[in-house]
Amino acid sequence: MRFELTPEHEKFRDELRKWLEEHVDRDWPRRYGHDDGAMARYQQEWDRKLYAAGYAGLSWPREYGGRAADVVQQAIFAAECARAHAPEGLARTGIRLVGPALMRYGTKEQQRHLQPILRGEEIWCQGFSEPEAGSDLAGLKTRAVRRGDRWVINGRKIWTSHGQFADWMILLARTGSPESRAAGISVFLLDMRTPGIEISPIRTLKGSMHFNEITFSDVEIGPESLLGEQDKGWEIVTSVLRDERGPGSLLVRSSDIQRIFGNIASHARQVGSGPAHDQALGALYGRAFASSLVTIELLRQEHAGTAPPGLASMSRLFVTTTWRTLVDDALLHWGGGLFDRYGATHIDDHLESWRYTLGGGTSEIQRNIVAAALLQLPSSRRGRG
Amino acid sequence: MVMDVFAFMDSWRTPEEQIILDGWAEAISGLRSRPAHPHDRPSAEDVARVINTVRARGWLEFGLGLETGEQIVFEAIKVLHQRLEPVSAPLPEIWMAAQLMRAAGVADVESYLNSATPPVLGMDDLISPPEAGAVVRTGWIPNPGGLSIVIPLRTKDGSIEVWLSPEQDEAEEVSCPDPSQRVRRFYLNLRDGNATAVGRLDPKAFARMQSKGLLAQASAMVGQARALLTTTRDYLCLREQFGVPVGSFQALKHRCADMATSLHAANLVTAHAAAAVVGTDPADHIGDLAKSFAGSVAVRIASEAVQLHGGMGYTWENPIHFGLKRTMYLAATGRSVRDCEVRLGKWSREGDVSWGIL
């Protein structure tokens, strides 16, 4: 492909690779996997190590303590961390979503959060999805009502990653009329210690407590908690959501896919194969290989500024469904052998696949975006904003 | 309504390559074959007319990649197939014949291309070369007459002899699904003095040539799939039922989105394979990778494209079936898509799988 690393990029990669080799404890998933609290502490410790080494907030501008990394360096960081099987840390929501929003829309006072976020001292969670507003985010119902110069919040949020460990939340609430959809949403910065917040962890199909449901009952916050203008929150949301669909996260998925394929191929090598198994393995290899190319192409086009609207969704759709195809087909073709050989890892790899075809916009939403933005097929929505 | 929503797939080409390919698209733009009747097949004169036009415009030797490098030839094969009404001359098979001759050490291959009877190579014979013998039964060859036949023969010592034979009378028609070509099997008499051995390849050089042949087919399938999907997308915007364009129904949108996504991936796989196959020491599985992935995608897109045209897709009048049938021809010749997958799987099981990225 027409994509090559510059000597600077190679230097960055080699230094990072060396640092990761020295600092990642390969045993961490086994050591902390059984205890969500211990895992959270370990993840936060990792955030601080990254900060100390200068790898926190890579993409942030230098004036805020970042390294102004370009999209390629960010992608290298994601890929190398996945390769080294490094923890993801708890600072990610703060660094990837909250930080950029504060830099662009925050007051000087609100920007005081930036340094604690960067240092991994302040954990943030994201209060976007609701039980009745998942894919249809603009239909959210959690309300923020003015009382004097204060805001009073009532409602429920769901799928809040690490909400039980978070110090702060970036919250979307309706400040316009119930029918206002995207034109009546505001963004608030919410201290999670404020009275009236109830946190209920959700046990996922994997068995761990990654997500939470969070209920707000007359939660009162001050005027300084509004980020940007009232009712103009949708613009902030769309600018931060775009980040979630970028090439960096897909590089991590591609790296996982290569590791999972490697396990399947190694198992096939051990047990021997007939033509039917080889055919399945060949088809999976082709798809896994294509996933890497699709990811690199998104990276290349974003770097070059040529990526059309919808290409990120198309790439995400292909890569995340590849993961599912891989584990589904492996189960059909190799049965229990893979579980014998890789045990909990393989079960985990299988169950993890839905996290990415559901989270960050389901595959069905990605298809809608591809159809509308890229293929420019006619809209099916009538009378809705 | 007509717009190229897939233009983003070309953005990795360099500006220089794009200029060349635009010139190529222009050179072939008027060359269309549209059989009026299901039993019509192009004649030797039809094919000669197309070849003469391409030659006169200076593009016949392009397939050797002498000035441009060979990598772009596979993009040109995509461009050649980005239409529903196909070109009746088997240009990829002519180009692959010329490349095989050159790989076998034949000097001045251009003179063969410029002769009255340019060479053609059947993809079946490239993938499964017959044993050397007095009379050789070939695989499918798109030759309505007027093309000389290049045939690789497997010899006892494992190397490959390349023979050039004039078209011979003894031939049988085959049930080729693609009406834009006349495809036959030939019985070549190699002892009658007309056929000559023109060169020889070692197994490694021949394996690279086989990869190129499979990649040429994969590239053709990607181009064809792009034409089929573009037409389908346009049809979904135009065709109205229940008072709205049928393209506004989510059931159809999602199928289109899946097809477009897989087409984008197949385009990248073939582009990657083209860079690899012309590079130093390409791995033997490159052709299998290209045809297995692009072939699965293209057959699926062709099948869905007809379905999404509704009843119109079932008519002769609508040209969608020409693209379908060309895809069927490409899937039916050379190595089957499943066989490519089996070989690829065997390679990835035995070898050290590399991803070569970042």
Residues B125-139: tens digit of each pLDDT = 999 999 988 889 999
pLDDT at site A221 = 97
Closest CB from B14, B233, B269 relative to A375: B233
Inter-chain touch A371–B253, beta carbons under 8 Å: yes
Q: What DSSP element (H or E) covers B97? A: helix B91-103
Inter-chain touch B344–A285, beta carbons under 8 Å: yes
Residue A378: list chain B partners with CB under 8 A: 237, 244-245, 247-248
Closest CB from A269, A282, A318 relative to B261: A318
- SS3 at position B10: helix
The whole-chain average pLDDT of chain A stands at: 90
Low-confidence ranges of chain B (pLDDT < 50): 1
pLDDT at site A245 = 61
Kindly state the tokens that stand for A90: 């708890």
pLDDT at site A273 = 76
Which single residue is written with the structure tokens 């007319």? B49
Mean pLDDT of A142-152: 96
pLDDT at site A241 = 67
pLDDT at site A59 = 86
pLDDT at site A340 = 86
| A275 Cβ under 8 Å from any chain B Cβ | yes
Report the share of chain A in percent with pLDDT over 70: 96
The reported pTM is 0.91
Residue B266: list chain A partners with CB under 8 A: 290
CA distance B345 to chain A (A): 3
Q: Strands B183-189, B135-137: parallel, antiparallel or unpaired by DSSP? A: antiparallel
pLDDT at site A384 = 41
pLDDT at site B283 = 85
Closest CB from B261, B271, B348 relative to A282: B348
Residue B147 and residue B136: Cα distance in Å, rounded?
17
Q: Is the dihedral of CA A7, A9, A13, A15 positive or negative?
A: positive
pLDDT band at A382 (very low <50, low <70, confident <90, very high): low
pLDDT at site B1 = 44
Mean pLDDT of A282-302: 93
Closest CB from A258, A367, A377 relative to B355: A258
| A378 Cβ under 8 Å from any chain B Cβ | yes
In this predicted structure, the answer to whether residue A248 has a pLDDT above a threshold of 80 is no
pLDDT band at A385 (very low <50, low <70, confident <90, very high): very low
| A75 Cβ under 8 Å from any chain B Cβ | yes
Q: What's the complex ipTM?
A: 0.95
pLDDT at site B132 = 86
Kindly state the tokens that stand for A243: 């980040």
Q: Of residues B100 and A137, which shows the higher confidence score?
A: B100
pLDDT at site A80 = 87
CB B90 within 8 A of CB B142: yes
Q: What is the pLDDT of residues A181-240, one digit of tens each?
A: 999 999 999 999 999 999 999 998 988 888 999 999 999 999 999 999 999 999 998 877
In this predicted structure, the answer to whether residue A383 has a pLDDT above a threshold of 80 is no
Mean pLDDT of A37-53: 93
pLDDT at site B299 = 98
Residue B358: list chain A partners with CB under 8 A: 5, 13, 75-76, 79, 251, 296
pLDDT at site A336 = 83
